[in-house]
Amino acid sequence: MGDFFQFLFGLSLFRDLRQSLVEQFKRLQKSIQQIKPFSWQTALLLSLLSWLVYLLLQDEIAKRIVSFFGWAFLILGVDWALFRRKVTVPILGLQFRYAPWVTGALLTIALYTNRLLLQDLSSALTSYPIFSALLATIPRFIHPGPTFRAPTRAGRQDIVILLLLGSLYSCWFQLYFDIENLLDRYPSLRADDMSRSNFVVQLDRDPPQSNGIQILNVAEAAVRETLNGLPTWADVQQRLSNIQTEVPQIATIARYEIYGNPPRGREYRLWRLNAQSVPNLQQPGSLLLQLQALWYGPSSDGKGYILQRSCVVEPAGSQIPIAQAPGTQYPAYQMQCGAVQSSLSTVLPQEN
């Protein structure tokens, strides 16, 4: 008996579902029949049909052709549907048509996905305001009918303003990508101070340190390694007096360690390493080793800068333990290096 009632309930549910589907189909059929042949609904339906055909095709050339019509009907239908719609800017009370910006975005996506004219994301975003501005000028030439007429004087002024605004937005996008490319090519710029710039805002509270500091660190380690193998203080003095001859080799070591082998990017070409050893007047009997990293690339003041680390090198003296283990060789010198100094203080890490 229970199975019979379940059957009746299922049959009633099926009838209700069938009736609902039939009513929905009739409404859809009626809506389609009311669509005018020359309307935005027809353009959107043709776009939908094109994309359905696109999914069924296998040949790449045929798919590209069908996708072209799919995008064309979609752009036409969306622009047609939004043609007279406007949005009001709060507070200002200004009204503007947003259809060109929507269709401009669709046009940009269509060209970018099909790799027509636009090959990368930067060119796509840079071209988007231009496309939108050009689409916004079309109503100045096409009037209801449709009929083609030359724009009026006020219409020509609107066209000039629209194109100038599109060009301005495009330039802003291009400026962003140019700055990003510049920072990618020259990472040390991220350590510079951009507070005086009218275009660049530095969001990082703790910006990375300049690669010049790493160059000085590697140079210091290379000098220590060179001096460690010398048995006497006289040999250390002789080696430091000719430190200029060691600079090319030390620079190569620093370049490979920081930028890789082969070096990545272009920044390594703009760094120069310099080293000199002079008598230390404040501590007679010792030497003052000055390591300099000179930056010839772009900077916030446009002049580059110099990073310098000064090291005091003196005989080991009492630093050598009295009781030495057999076979142990201790350096004949001791070397103490100070903090990095710069002609442009903003490139140095902030001390807490």
Tell me: do 247 and 150 sit in the same domain.
no
Tell me: do 168 and 217 sit in the same domain.
no
- Of 164, 182, 200, the residue at which a domain comes to its end is 182
Tell me: do 47 and 170 sit in the same domain.
yes
Tell me: do 167 and 76 sit in the same domain.
yes
Tell me: do 148 and 272 sit in the same domain.
no
Tell me: do 174 and 267 sit in the same domain.
no
In the numeric block, which tokens belong to residue 166?
A: 């599109």
How far apart are alpha carbons 62 and 46 in whole angstroms?
A: 17
pLDDT of residue 41: 81
Please list, residue by residue across 247-280, b when 16 or more beta carbons sit within 10 angstroms of its beta carbon and e when fewer do. Answer: beebbebbbeebbeeeeeeebbeebbbbbebeeb
Using DSSP's 3-state secondary structure scheme, residue 314 falls into: strand
Residue 285 domain-assigned (yes or no): yes
pLDDT of residue 203: 67
pLDDT of residue 144: 67
Tell me: do 224 and 311 sit in the same domain.
yes
Residue 270 domain-assigned (yes or no): yes
Domain span at 124: 32-182
pLDDT of residue 319: 47
Contacts of 350 (CB under 8 A, 6+ apart): none
Tens of pLDDT, residue by residue, the chain (352 residues): 555 556 555 656 666 666 766 667 666 656 655 566 667 788 888 899 899 998 888 888 888 889 999 999 999 889 888 887 877 777 766 777 888 899 999 999 999 988 888 888 889 999 999 999 999 888 888 776 667 788 888 888 888 988 999 999 999 999 889 888 888 888 888 777 777 777 777 666 666 778 888 999 999 999 988 888 888 888 888 888 888 888 899 998 888 888 887 877 788 888 999 999 888 878 888 889 999 998 888 887 777 888 899 999 988 864 444 444 445 566 778 888 988 888 765 555 544 3
Tell me: do 131 and 236 sit in the same domain.
no
Tell me: do 48 and 176 sit in the same domain.
yes
Tell me: do 74 and 178 sit in the same domain.
yes
Tell me: do 175 and 215 sit in the same domain.
no
Residue 231 domain-assigned (yes or no): yes
Tell me: do 261 and 135 sit in the same domain.
no
Residue 257 domain-assigned (yes or no): yes
Using DSSP's 3-state secondary structure scheme, residue 274 falls into: strand
**Cβ proximity of 80 and 43 under 8 Å:** yes
- Please give the tally of structural domains in the chain: 2
Residue 189 domain-assigned (yes or no): no
Question: Kindly report the CA angle at 159 between 157 and 162, in degrees rounded to 5?
Answer: 110
Residue 166 domain-assigned (yes or no): yes
The pTM for the full model equals: 0.68
